[in-house]
C-alpha cells in the first residue's frame, strides 16, 4: 500500500492491462473512497510517457484507483490498487 500525506501533489503512474496487454488509449480513471464504487471517471494525466492520476486534494483515508477502458463493444472496469492518505 502506498501512503501519501494529505498535502501531497504527486503523479501516480498506473499500468492498465486488458487480456494481458498494456493499454494507454481509451482509458479513464476514478479515485474513490475505499468503501465506495467508482462513479465519475476523468481522463488520465500523462507524464514522461506514462498515464496515471494526480494525487491531490484528498482527505485522510483509504482510496481505490479504478480504470475504465472503452474498447468497443466491451468496457472493462479494473481495480488498479489502493492508496492511503494520512
| pLDDT, position 19 | 87
Contact 53, 16 (CB under 8 A): no
- Over residues 49-82, the pLDDT tens digits come to 999 999 999 999 999 999 999 988 889 999 999 9
Domains of the chain: 2-85 (2.60.40)
Global confidence as pTM? 0.91
Phi, psi torsion values for 62, nearest 5 degrees: -100, 145
Amino acid at each position: 500500500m502506498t501512503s501519501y500525506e494529505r498535502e501531497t501533489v504527486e503523479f501516480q503512474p498506473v499500468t492498465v492491462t486488458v487480456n494481458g496487454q498494456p493499454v494507454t488509449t481509451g482509458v479513464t480513471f476514478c479515485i474513490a473512497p475505499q468503501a465506495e464504487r467508482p462513479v465519475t471517471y476523468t481522463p488520465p494525466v500523462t507524464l514522461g510517457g506514462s498515464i496515471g492520476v494526480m494525487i491531490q486534494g484528498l482527505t485522510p483515508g483509504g482510496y481505490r484507483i479504478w480504470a475504465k477502458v472503452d474498447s468497443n463493444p466491451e468496457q472493462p472496469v479494473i481495480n488498479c490498487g489502493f492508496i492511503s492518505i494520512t
